[in-house]
Amino acid sequence: MTAAVEIAPPVRRLFTIAVVLVVVAVVATCNAVEYPSSSSVSSPPAAKLAFDLQPTNAAAGADISPPVIVAVQDGMGNVVTTATSTVTVAVGTNPAHGTLSGTTTVGAIGGFATFVNLIIDSVGTGYTLTAAAAGLTGATSSAFNVTVAH
């Protein structure tokens, strides 16, 4: 069963105008969207480093665990997954004149540089690490402590 509803002429005109305006607005919006001219879209360039996994407290002479991870990021803080930058870490704040050993320079893979065997040899409170790579703004880690080995 269907029913017809009669719309008065002035209301019908307003309804028709409203529908036309909505259609025009949708078409104008769709026409304003720009689409890439090719199927490949390039990533923004690498601009800076950031500690993705901060160093944690460790015993003197033992590996900092879990591994320290440094991300290569664009200017907006997004990881540049195509980055293969060579990243070097060093002791920043050094309250006890500790020496950093292990593999301190690694190449980023997929935008991440992972340092699996970093060791500081001296007990101290408030150490930091710095990360550097050519052409990128460096980073400083959060503070961490090196304790007496058990």
Task: State the CATH number of the domain containing residue 115.
Answer: 2.60.40.10
Residue 87 covered by a domain: yes
Confirm whether 115 is domain-assigned.
Answer: yes
| Domain boundaries, position 103 | 48-147
Tens digits of per-residue pLDDT, 85-115? 999 999 999 999 999 999 999 999 999 999 9
Give 42-57 pLDDT, tens digit per residue: 778 999 999 999 999 9
110 close to 78: Cβ distance less than 8 angstroms: no
Q: Is the pTM of this model over 0.75?
A: no
Residue 110 lies in a domain: yes
Task: Confirm whether 16 is domain-assigned.
Answer: no
Let me know if residue 20 belongs to a domain. no
Number of separate domains in the chain:
1
